[in-house]
């Protein structure tokens, strides 16, 4: 049985990019007769207050993007808010630590940026491995004055996989990413660890998400393997850009639902997005249910999609 999911981070009102992603996740799972889980990725509780999560749930319901498991439809694999699942992340971190795969890191953000490490295209810094070389005694000494972050020891290995939409993708983790964070020094667990623990615990078999997370997938595949968890299949969809080519953000009011919900019906929003995504023949209104008959990954472009000026009311 296919199990898909929505995993929004409620740091603001849902925008058209989030809606396109949720629509494709819903269609891809439902078309296979599968189920959909909603998980709220609110690890950063300061940026993701509960009222934004509740608004997001209401927006998804309004759009007709229903879920079988998640807030309001509990099925025993919850809680569905990451902020309430930290014991599971701590247990996974402990399993990795017990196998000698984790070490404490005392580098500050300023030190990391100063260490002339090349920056990846997704803005991540390649970690130069500074604290990997600390002896246990040195690490214990430093931990007296500064709580450490925790990093995964990345093997010298290229991780390759085939994305269901974007095709083959690979990364030499040691060279292109370095030892990555599992927990920050303030105790917040890293997205990379939480997403793997949760997708596995929630029985997710199919991950549909934006192409900005394609580069995270090799790190997650490594964690699935190290934690002996079954990995899902991945489909990364193109990013939606503004007419002038900028990335949509939750602060970008022109693509947010605040204004759109007052001027459009859900079917109008979904029809236009499905048209932009290549599988709906015109921008005519359509419900998610009606789009099931038309959805086809083969028709979805792989390059970024620009929102044409005037397609959505400003
Ligand atoms: N929470 C992430 C976001 O809203 C998505 C994570 C994922 O789909 O793996 O961008």
- Binding site membership of 229 for ligand 1 (Cβ less than 6 Å): no
Q: Domains in the chain, please, with CATH? A: 3-84+238-306 (3.40.50.620), 101-193 (3.90.800.10)
25 Cα to the center of ligand 1, angstroms: 12
Confidence of residue 258 (pLDDT cuts 50, 70, 90): confident
pTM over 0.85: yes
- For 12-58, write each residue's pLDDT tens digit: 999 999 999 999 999 999 999 999 999 999 999 999 999 999 999 99
163 Cα to the center of ligand 1, angstroms: 16
- For 206-249, write each residue's pLDDT tens digit: 999 999 999 999 999 999 999 999 999 999 999 999 888 888 87
Tell me if residue 27 falls in helix, strand or coil: helix
Q: Both tokens of residue 150? A: 């925790």
Give me the DSSP letters along 278-291.
TSSSSS----HHHH
Q: Both tokens of residue 178? A: 């370095």
Percent with pLDDT over 90 in the chain: 83
* pLDDT at position 80: 97
Q: Both tokens of residue 146? A: 């500064």
CA-closest residue to ligand 1 atom 6 = 7
154 Cα to the center of ligand 1, angstroms: 23
- For 145-196, write each residue's pLDDT tens digit: 999 999 999 999 999 999 999 999 999 999 999 999 999 999 999 999 999 9
Pocket test for ligand 1, best of 12, 197, 207, 213 (most atoms within 8 A of CB): 213
Confidence of residue 122 (pLDDT cuts 50, 70, 90): low
* pLDDT at position 119: 64
* Residues with catalytic roles: 250
* pLDDT at position 254: 59
How many residues make up the chain in this entry?
A: 314
Give me the DSSP letters along 195-228.
HHHHHHHTT--EEEEEGGGGGGHHHHHHHHHHTT
- For 223-232, write each residue's pLDDT tens digit: 999 999 999 9
**pLDDT of 118 above 80:** no
Phi/psi class of residue 310: alpha, beta or left (left: φ > 0; alpha: ψ in -120 to 50)? left
CA dist., res. 294 & res. 274, Å (int)? 9
Tell me if residue 3 falls in helix, strand or coil: strand
Give me the DSSP letters along 221-267.
HHHHHHTT----EEEEEPPEE-TTSPBP-TT-GGGBHHHHHHH--HH
Ligand 1: nearest atom to the Cα of 41: 1
Going 262 to 268 to 269 to 272, the CA torsion angle's sign is negative
Pairing state between β 149-152 and 3-6? unpaired
Confidence of residue 117 (pLDDT cuts 50, 70, 90): low
């Amino acid at each position: 049985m296919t199990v898909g999911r929505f995993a929004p981070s409620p740091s603001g009102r849902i925008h058209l990019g989030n809606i396109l992603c949720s629509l494709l996740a819903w269609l891809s799972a439902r078309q296979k007769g599968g189920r959909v889980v909603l998980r709220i990725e609110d690890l950063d509780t300061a940026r993701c207050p509960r009222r934004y999560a509740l608004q997001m749930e209401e927006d998804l319901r309004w759009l007709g993007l229903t879920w079988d498991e998640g807030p309001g439809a509990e099925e025993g694999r919850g809680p569905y808010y990451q902020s309430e699942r930290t014991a599971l992340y701590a247990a996974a971190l402990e399993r990795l630590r017990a196998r000698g795969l984790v070490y404490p890191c005392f580098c500050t953000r300023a030190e990391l940026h100063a260490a002339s490490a090349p920056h990846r295209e997704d803005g991540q810094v390649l970690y130069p491995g500074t604290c990997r070389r600390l002896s246990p005694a040195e690490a214990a000494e430093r931990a007296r004055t500064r709580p450490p972050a925790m990093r995964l020891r990345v093997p010298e290995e290229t991780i390759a996989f085939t994305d269901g939409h974007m095709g083959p993708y690979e990364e030499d983790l040691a060279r292109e990413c370095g030892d990555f964070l599992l927990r920050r020094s303030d105790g917040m667990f890293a997205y990379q660890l939480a997403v793997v623990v949760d997708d596995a615990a929630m029985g997710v078999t199919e991950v549909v998400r934006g192409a900005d997370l394609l580069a995270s997938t090799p790190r997650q595949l490594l964690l699935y393997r190290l934690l002996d968890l079954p990995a899902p299949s991945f489909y990364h969809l193109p990013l939606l850009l503004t007419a002038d080519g900028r990335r949509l953000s939750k602060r970008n009011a022109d693509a947010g639902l605040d204004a759109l919900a007052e001027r459009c019906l859900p079917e109008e929003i979904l029809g236009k997005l499905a048209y932009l995504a290549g599988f709906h023949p015109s921008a005519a209104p359509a419900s998610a249910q009606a789009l099931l008959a038309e959805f086809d990954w083969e028709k979805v472009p792989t390059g970024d999609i620009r929102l044409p000026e005037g397609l959505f009311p400003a």
